[in-house]
Amino acid sequence: MRKPIIAGNWKMNKTVKKAVEFVKEMVETMNDCPDMEIVVFPPFTALHAVANVVRDTNILFGAQNMYYESAGAYTGEISPLMLADIGVHFVILGHSERREILGETNEIINLKMKAALNYRMKPILCVGEKLEEREKGKAEDVIHSQLVRNLQDISKDEMARTVIAYEPLWAIGTGKTASPEDANKMHAFIRGTIISLYDKRVASMVRIQYGGSVRPDNIGILMAQPEIDGALVGGASLDVESFVKIARYTL
Ligand code: PGA
């Protein structure tokens, strides 16, 4: 049985003060939380402060990005060594905003995947198609190629620790969600691809999250799908009440 994983990607939002207030409230409200993982992704500036609040609680935390080298002359970058140093559990890699706005290629994402796994962090690898690719019937081809290129030279053990987030670009921040059935179909395709690249045992361990306009009112029907193991939530994770409602989804 795969453990559900609900993650809040705050993107470029929240000061240190707001981030700390948020996680303090989360820790209090979710201390009885069932057998699941709840992860927040603050901006880099708030990571250390958040780490201090959530230590020894059931709230996990992660980084929204990182560079693939451990140290050196890379002005403005944050390394996996620095993230591991403050106890980061997860790192989001290949988010479509980084692919589209910041020009990250599949090859760069692959280097970052290897670096994160080397430092024992769990990557959440984001894949997703654009609207025109879906309309042309190319959605599966796009996802397949992202997976093959982003997962190159990742071992079976490393793959089993990886989380995949299926985030169709047309659903991110638009209020449009993939129908639960369409999302489930793509998740099944992703799991099938992992079987072909690895094997059934590994594929059965990999958690696949859905992302794109997840809200308190649609989390239940999404999580009811057999292939959906969690959600990567953007906008609706910024407000603590809304994120708690999502984390406490009931089937
Ligand atoms: P959204 O973002 O929930 O605001 O659509 C999801 C994401 O980008 O991870």
The pLDDT tens digits of the residues spanning 112-133 come to 999 999 999 999 999 999 999 9
How confident is residue 225, by pLDDT bands cut at 50, 70 and 90?
very high
Q: How far apart are CA 104 and CA 95, in angstroms?
A: 9
Q: How far apart are CA 49 and CA 10, in angstroms?
A: 15
Helix (H) or strand (E) holding 61: strand 59-63
133 is catalytic: no
Those residues with Cβ within 8 angstroms of residue 220's Cβ, 6 or more apart along the chain or in another chain: 249, 250, 251
| Average pLDDT for the chain | 96
Q: What is the pLDDT of residues 159-201, one digit of tens each?
A: 999 999 999 999 999 988 889 999 999 999 999 999 999 999 9
- Closest residue CA from atom 1 of ligand 1: 234
Q: What are phi and psi of 204, to 5 degrees?
A: -75, -15
- Closest residue CA from atom 6 of ligand 1: 234
Q: How far apart are CA 48 and CA 39, in angstroms?
A: 15
Q: What are phi and psi of 14, to 5 degrees?
A: 85, 130
Atom of ligand 1 nearest to the CA of 232: 9
Domain definitions of the chain by residue range: 5-247
- The residue whose CB lies within 8 Å of the most ligand 1 atoms, and thus the one to mutate among 13, 167, 245, is 167
Class of domain 5-247: alpha beta
Is 130 annotated to bind ligand?
no
Q: What is the pLDDT of residue 175?
A: 87
Selected catalytic residue, list 37, 95, 104, 133: 95
Rounded mean pLDDT, 48-53: 97
Atom of ligand 1 nearest to the CA of 11: 8
How confident is residue 91, by pLDDT bands cut at 50, 70 and 90?
very high
How confident is residue 246, by pLDDT bands cut at 50, 70 and 90?
very high
What percent of the chain lies above the pLDDT cut of 90?
94
Q: What angle do CA 123, 126, 131 make, to 5 degrees?
A: 180
On the question of pLDDT at 251 being above 90, the answer is: no
Residue 50, Cα to own-chain centre: how many angstroms?
18
Q: For residue 98, what are its two tokens?
A: 């980084």
Per DSSP, the three-state class of 125 is: strand
Selected catalytic residue, list 37, 133, 167, 187: 167
Q: For residue 56, what are its two tokens?
A: 């020894």
How confident is residue 34, by pLDDT bands cut at 50, 70 and 90?
low
Q: How far apart are CA 237 and CA 65, in angstroms?
A: 18
Q: For residue 213, what are its two tokens?
A: 């306009």
